[in-house]
């Protein structure tokens, strides 16, 4: 397997010395401040908004309401909805404007925007706005919202059901399940969590009346999709929308959305006749950023008498929140659940049904893993339950049923194209690294100290990359440096380091002479999209590599003319064009630096490539200890064996895995967005109430092991890595915690595994035995 190394991340010095340029750092002449008035209730009709006193206050330029957004003629926010549901039904996408119109549907929904000279003036004016509401019942849980007779959150959506989606073969799965000797059943919950990027959601907008054009400044995972969506919403041609997104302080999927605040600020800039900037607070980020996960998962796994998997049936009840986000419906249907439905297991009869339900909560969207952790969590809990039911050791059961390397590439029962993997090797490597055979001794030692020790292994496979096309451009600058243009939207991954290195490897010139331009308003229009879904290297890297190869071929013709030979006689190696058997040679750098008569450099390249998905996989092992007297949970060790294909930069890869693992740990041990079930009020709206993982929550010596099988789906051999940590950590730690708790008689416990929950579960199990 190939490996590329580097000496440091070129973006780090700028970022750690305070020279980054985030949304709040953008300098706009004459900019006004903006503040949102948000709904203080979960569900109500808006009877009246009285903003007269606010508009009359000193320093107030404008007050914008939902009526203004509707009057502007702008459309509602988009949602990806190309897929069909049961019976050919379509996703119901109720209109969502930049501000609530006629009804509020969740606590924190923006109701009005105040524009003033300062933030303080805008805040004071917000307090003078009177909103008269007529309260309606609040529905927080998807099951309650989907129940017969539940109040409609949107008048034209019966049963609050956005989509009833199914995949696989129901008849085949039912028949195989009916013939199964054993059927393991599991019901679990993937709780709602917040993305909480370091940089709060913010935006600024400036309107040019002369050209009817906007400049929008916002954190984004790639501006191409944002520009297209805003053009669709506003009716303004995309070329008159300039999206500025330089440095982004974390993204994790929640920054790949068109948020209603963007529309309100844009209209405010047009109305006020000056640039307008809104800098969100942490509280607004928690309550207003689209949330992640939020699904009730159930599954059945059928086994024959020999312990072979014969059928899988799954059901998801998905809490979409009050509206469809752009990605929420997609990641809970086709993106992960369907594409990786069989995970790493050999099962041919499968059926899944997912019901996507509107509730009076913040909308949900892709969050690191984007449906993948739910798939892996349900699968691995089913395998553990099957092992308990059949009496077959869980490791032996996995080995009996995993796919073999010879099975790849393969077409799955849900029509995904798995590219490559070696599941038996993943298992073997993980067990050896974790000293699985020595665990019994460690458990006995922990018991002598009064602790409950558990071990868990989990397997996973996930989609990465995607389909469609990606375009990239390489331009030769007047100083001999190379400028790369890509739709990449970095938010900490290290694109400024790795993409120049990918191109440098092809061209044989120093990476220091190559610079990546991303989210550049002056860049050429490129086909493709931003950075999400673990797609950056597979998509943007693939396109840039192809462009670099095109540069080489163009250079071959130039070199042939220079050396007075036929192009077929010229070979390229290590940055040099040579004629075999002679000492004739010319360097690519010489051709780059030469002054050519044409206005554009003859080595400039613009290439569009077709994309294909790749499927990274892994086997993770964790050990935990629990103090039964306090419920305190301690992660003692973690082994992550990952197949990320060909690795181009180990340091960047490890950073991605570390971050994903920590976010998976957060979900398992503490993170949860909580609402009051009766009122719909948010109960975890600050860091006083919302748990965030810290270094001491995951302090063991973390071992990362590369077990890569290059992907045949792209010339780089690459697979995604950004979400592997979160996908693997959730089922792995869940299995370890429940293995420890079984010693105390606890069979099932939903995340998050807080000390209070663990302590309560142990006490309840003990009381049940004593009664």
Q: How confident is the model at residue 394 (pLDDT cuts 50, 70, 90)?
A: very high
pLDDT of amino acid 539:
94
For the segment 326-344, the average pLDDT, to the nearest whole number, is: 93
Helical spans, DSSP H, in 435-581: 439-448, 495-507, 536, 542-563
Tally the residues of the chain. 771
Query: How much is the mean pLDDT over the chain?
Result: 95
Helical spans, DSSP H, in 203-335: 223-234, 260-272, 282-288, 328-331
Q: How far apart are CA 505 and CA 651, in angstroms?
A: 17
- Residue 381 dihedral angles phi and psi, to the nearest 5°: -70, -35
Q: How far apart are CA 739 and CA 460, in angstroms?
A: 19
Q: How confident is the model at residue 623 (pLDDT cuts 50, 70, 90)?
A: very high
Q: How far apart are CA 122 and CA 64, in angstroms?
A: 12
Q: CB under 8 Å to 451, separation ≥6 — which residues? A: 625, 626, 627, 628
For the segment 117-146, the average pLDDT, to the nearest whole number, is: 98
Q: How far apart are CA 146 and CA 355, in angstroms?
A: 9
pLDDT of amino acid 6:
41
User: Residue 311: which of 420, 422, 171 has the closest Cα?
Assistant: 171
User: Residue 498: which of 605, 614, 652 has the closest Cα?
Assistant: 652
pLDDT of amino acid 322:
98
Q: Tens of pLDDT along 755-764?
A: 999 999 999 9
Q: How confident is the model at residue 1 (pLDDT cuts 50, 70, 90)?
A: very low
Contact 540, 495 (CB under 8 A): yes
With a pLDDT cut of 70, the percent of the chain lying above it is 99
Contact 641, 709 (CB under 8 A): no
Contact 633, 737 (CB under 8 A): yes
With a pLDDT cut of 90, the percent of the chain lying above it is 90
- DSSP-derived 3-state class of residue 495: helix
CB burial of residue 213 (10 Å; 0-12, 13-18, 19+)? middle
Q: How far apart are CA 184 and CA 187, in angstroms?
A: 11
Q: How confident is the model at residue 150 (pLDDT cuts 50, 70, 90)?
A: very high
Q: CB under 8 Å to 630, separation ≥6 — which residues? A: 755, 759
Q: How far apart are CA 678 and CA 691, in angstroms?
A: 23
Q: How far apart are CA 113 and CA 447, in angstroms?
A: 59
Q: How far apart are CA 381 and CA 373, in angstroms?
A: 12
User: Residue 409: which of 424, 425, 423, 421 has the closest Cα?
Assistant: 421
Q: How far apart are CA 557 and CA 208, in angstroms?
A: 46
CA max distance for the chain: 95
Angle between helices 724-741 and 372-390 (to 10 degrees): 30
User: Residue 163: which of 82, 244, 225 has the closest Cα?
Assistant: 82
Q: How far apart are CA 278 and CA 297, in angstroms?
A: 38
Contact 459, 617 (CB under 8 A): yes
Quote the distance between the C-alpha of residue 357 and its chain's center: 21
pLDDT of amino acid 533:
85
pLDDT for 575 beyond 60 = yes
pLDDT of amino acid 697:
85
For the segment 243-271, the average pLDDT, to the nearest whole number, is: 95
H/E stretch holding 126 reads helix 119-126
Q: CB under 8 Å to 647, separation ≥6 — which residues? A: 1, 2, 3, 4, 653, 706, 708
Contact 613, 467 (CB under 8 A): yes
3-state secondary structure 338-405: HCCCCCCECCCCEEEEEEEEECCCCCECCCCCCCHHHHHHHHHHHHHHHHHHHCCCHHHHHHHHECCH
For the segment 475-486, the average pLDDT, to the nearest whole number, is: 95
Q: Tens of pLDDT along 457-475?
A: 999 999 998 778 999 999 9
Q: How far apart are CA 109 and CA 160, in angstroms?
A: 19
Least-confidence region, from 355-359, 506-510, 517-521, 737-741 = 517-521
Q: How confident is the model at residue 507 (pLDDT cuts 50, 70, 90)?
A: very high
pLDDT of amino acid 234:
96
pLDDT of amino acid 230:
96
Q: How confident is the model at residue 4 (pLDDT cuts 50, 70, 90)?
A: very low
H/E stretch holding 171 reads helix 170-178
Q: How confident is the model at residue 2 (pLDDT cuts 50, 70, 90)?
A: very low
Q: How far apart are CA 585 and CA 564, in angstroms?
A: 11
User: Residue 661: which of 619, 698, 714 has the closest Cα?
Assistant: 698
Q: Tens of pLDDT along 179-217?
A: 999 999 999 999 999 999 999 999 999 999 999 999 999
pLDDT for 232 beyond 50 = yes
Query: What helix, strand, coil percent values describe the chain, rounded to 5?
Result: 35, 25, 40
H/E stretch holding 382 reads helix 372-390
CA triple 329-321-263, angle to 5 deg: 85
- DSSP-derived 3-state class of residue 667: helix
Q: How confident is the model at residue 523 (pLDDT cuts 50, 70, 90)?
A: confident
pLDDT of amino acid 344:
98
Quote the distance between the C-alpha of residue 65 and its chain's center: 31
Query: What's the Cα-to-Cα distance from 586 to each of 19, 272, 507, 603, 690, rounded to whole Å?
Result: 40, 60, 13, 15, 62
Q: How confident is the model at residue 707 (pLDDT cuts 50, 70, 90)?
A: very high
pLDDT of amino acid 484:
97
pLDDT for 334 beyond 50 = yes
For the segment 435-443, the average pLDDT, to the nearest whole number, is: 98
For the segment 474-503, the average pLDDT, to the nearest whole number, is: 93
- Strands of 468-476's sheet, edge to edge? 514-518, 482-486, 468-476, 605-611
Q: Tens of pLDDT along 9-68?
A: 889 988 989 999 999 999 999 999 999 999 999 999 999 999 999 999 999 999 999 999
């Amino acid at each position: 397997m190939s490996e590329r190394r580097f000496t440091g991340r070129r973006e780090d010095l700028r970022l750690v010395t305070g020279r980054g340029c985030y949304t709040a750092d953008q300098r706009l002449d004459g900019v006004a401040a903006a503040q949102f008035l948000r709904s203080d209730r979960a569900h109500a009709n808006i009877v009246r908004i009285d903003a007269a006193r606010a508009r009359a206050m000193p320093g107030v330029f404008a007050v914008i309401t939902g009526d203004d957004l509707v009057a502007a003629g702008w459309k509602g926010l988009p949602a990806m909805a190309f897929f069909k549901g049961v019976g050919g039904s379509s996703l119901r996408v109720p209109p969502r404007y930049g501000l609530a119109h006629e009804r509020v549907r969740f606590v924190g929904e923006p109701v009005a925007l105040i524009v003033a000279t300062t933030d303080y003036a805008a805040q004071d004016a917000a307090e003078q706005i009177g909103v008269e509401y007529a309260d309606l019942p609040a529905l927080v849980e998807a099951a309650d919202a989907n129940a017969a007779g539940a109040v409609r959150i949107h008048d034209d959506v019966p049963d609050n059901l956005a989509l009833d989606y199914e995949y696989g073969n129901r008849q085949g799965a039912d028949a195989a399940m009916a013939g199964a000797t054993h059927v393991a059943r599991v019901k679990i919950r993937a709780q709602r969590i917040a993305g909480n990027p370091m940089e709060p959601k913010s935006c600024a907008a400036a309107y040019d009346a002369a050209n009817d054009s906007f400049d929008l400044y916002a954190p984004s995972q790639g501006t191409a999709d944002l520009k297209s969506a805003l053009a669709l919403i506003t009716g303004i041609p995309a070329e008159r929308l300039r999206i500025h997104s330089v440095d982004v302080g974390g993204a994790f999927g929640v920054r790949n959305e068109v948020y209603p605040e963007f529309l309100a600020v844009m209209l405010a800039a047009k109305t006020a006749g000056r640039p307008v900037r809104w800098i969100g607070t942490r509280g607004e980020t928690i309550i207003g950023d689209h949330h992640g996960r939020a699904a009730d998962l159930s599954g059945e796994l059928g086994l024959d008498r020999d312990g072979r998997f014969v059928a899988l049936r799954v059901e998801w009840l998905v809490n979409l929140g009050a509206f469809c986000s752009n990605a929420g419906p997609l990641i809970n249907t086709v993106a992960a659940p369907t594409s990786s439905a069989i995970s790493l297991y050999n099962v041919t009869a499968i059926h899944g049904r997912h019901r996507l339900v509107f509730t009076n909560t913040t909308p949900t969207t892709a969050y690191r893993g984007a449906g993948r952790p739910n798939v892996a969590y349900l699968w691995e809990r089913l395998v553990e339950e099957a092992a308990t039911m059949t009496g077959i050791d869980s490791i032996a059961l996995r080995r009996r049923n995993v796919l073999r390397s010879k099975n790849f590439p393969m077409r799955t029962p849900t029509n995904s194209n798995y590219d490559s993997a070696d599941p038996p090797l993943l298992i073997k490597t993980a067990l050896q690294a974790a000293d699985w055979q020595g665990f019994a001794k460690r458990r006995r030692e922990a018991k002598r100290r009064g602790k409950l020790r558990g071990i868990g292994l989990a397997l996973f496979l996930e989609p990465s990359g995607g389909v469609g096309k990606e375009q990239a451009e390489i331009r030769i600058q007047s100083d001999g440096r190379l400028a790369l243009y890509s739709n990449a939207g970095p938010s900490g991954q290290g694109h400024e380091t790795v993409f120049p290195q990918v191109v440098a490897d092809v061209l044989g010139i120093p990476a220091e002479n190559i610079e990546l331009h991303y989210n550049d308003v002056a860049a050429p229009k490129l086909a493709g999209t931003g950075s999400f879904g673990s797609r950056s290297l597979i998509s943007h890297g693939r396109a840039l590599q192809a462009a670099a190869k095109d540069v080489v071929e163009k250079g071959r013709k130039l070199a042939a003319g220079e050396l007075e030979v036929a192009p077929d006689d010229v070979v390229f190696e290590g940055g040099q064009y040579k004629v075999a058997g002679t000492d004739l040679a010319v360097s690519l750098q010489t051709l780059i630096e030469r002054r050519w008569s044409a206005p554009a450099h003859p080595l400039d390249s613009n290439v569009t490539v077709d994309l294909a998905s790749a499927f990274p996989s892994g086997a993770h092992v964790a050990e935990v200890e629990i103090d039964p007297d306090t419920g305190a949970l301690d992660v003692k060790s973690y082994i992550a064996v990952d197949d990320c294909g060909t690795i181009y930069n180990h340091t960047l890869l490890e950073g991605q895995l570390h971050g994903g693992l920590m976010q998976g740990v957060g979900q398992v041990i503490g993170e949860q967005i909580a609402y009051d079930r009766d009122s719909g009020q948010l109960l975890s709206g600050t860091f006083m109430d919302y748990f965030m993982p810290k270094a001491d929550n995951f302090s063991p010596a973390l071992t990362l092991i590369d077990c890569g099988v290059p992907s045949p789906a792209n010339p780089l051999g690459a697979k995604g890595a950004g979400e592997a940590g979160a996908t693997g950590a959730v089922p792995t730690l869940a299995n370890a915690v429940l293995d420890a708790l079984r010693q105390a008689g606890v069979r099932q416990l939903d995340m998050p595994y807080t000390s209070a929950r663990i302590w309560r579960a142990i006490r309840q199990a003990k009381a049940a035995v004593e009664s």
